[in-house]
């Protein structure tokens, strides 16, 4: 296998909040479903790509002989390095310097940060509290037609997160989700068009019926 200089990732534009979300996601999903997700997770977390340190989110080796384990490790590294090289050619990563050990330091380009959205969206979840506070979170939005792709993307994410569509642009959830909505607004750049508020008074029987099972668990 050809030897490559260690690749270090350091991107000051990746916030601590994003790093924390990805770190938690990797911990919950130790087996990556794709090489690109493992590579993006490594880059977001400021990791390193070498033969010795493959990446977070790669399937662990268990119950295999040493020779097989070494071969698997080499194969995973080759796939990651090949994916990195291809994405670098597509202007997803840019070199910003050299490390003390002779390795190369890379960060995402603006194009690369945009491509991380798919992975970042997978880190979103609304956590269930020990006990429901009897409040409803209502998300309302009026997104202009020129941002219709973002509007459709927001619809899909609200649905995936378990919101109930009270109206086409009014979605409801019983649990705290302000940070998740802000995160979606950051990703889709739609802050001016989205509002979230809480209310104790929601008379729709359809909403109560939709959430009856999870509310029973957290009564």
Q: What is the DSSP string of the chain?
A: ------EEE--TTS-HHHHHHHHHHHHH--S-SSHHHHHHHHHHTT-EESSS---TTSPPP-S--HHHHHHHHHHHHHHHHHHHHHHHHTTSEEEEEE-TTS-EEEEE-HHHHHHTHHHHHHT--PPPPSS--S-EEEEEE---GGGHHHHHHHHHHHHHTT-EEEETTEEEESS--HHHHHHHHHHHT-GGGEEEEEES----HHHHHHTHHHHHHT-
Per-residue model confidence (pLDDT) at position 66: 46
Residue 144 has pLDDT above 50, yes or no: yes
Q: Which residues make up the CATH 3.30.70.240 domain(s) of the chain?
A: 136-217
pLDDT band with cut points at 50, 70 and 90 for residue 61: very low
pLDDT band with cut points at 50, 70 and 90 for residue 132: very high
> What does the pLDDT average to over 59-77?
57
Q: Mean pLDDT of all residues in the chain?
A: 87
Per-residue model confidence (pLDDT) at position 5: 84
The CATH architecture of the domain made up of 136-217 is: 2-Layer Sandwich (3.30)
């Amino acid at each position: 296998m050809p030897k490559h200089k260690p690749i270090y990732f350091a991107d000051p534009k990746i916030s601590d909040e994003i790093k924390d979300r990805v770190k938690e996601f990797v911990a919950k999903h130790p087996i990556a479903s794709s090489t690109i997700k493992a590579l993006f997770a490594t880059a977001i977390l400021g990791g390193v790509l070498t033969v010795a340190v493959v990446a977070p989110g790669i399937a662990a080796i268990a119950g295999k002989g040493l020779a097989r384990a070494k071969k698997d490790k080499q194969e995973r590294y080759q796939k990651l390095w090949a994916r990195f090289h291809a994405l670098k050619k597509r202007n997803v990563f840019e070199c910003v310097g050299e490390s003390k050990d002779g390795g190369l330091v890379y960060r995402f380009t603006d194009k690369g940060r945009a491509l991380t959205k798919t992975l970042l969206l997978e880190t979103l979840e609304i956590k269930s509290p020990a006990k429901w506070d009897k409040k409803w979170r209502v998300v309302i939005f009026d997104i202009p037609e020129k941002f219709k792709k973002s509007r459709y993307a927001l619809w899909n994410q609200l649905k995936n997160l378990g919101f109930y569509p009270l109206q086409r642009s009014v979605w409801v959830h019983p649990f705290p989700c302000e940070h998740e909505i802000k995160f979606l607004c950051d990703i889709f750049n739609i802050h001016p068009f989205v509002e979230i508020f809480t209310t104790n008074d929601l008379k729709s029987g359809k909403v109560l019926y939709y959430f009856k099972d999870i509310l029973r668990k957290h009564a």
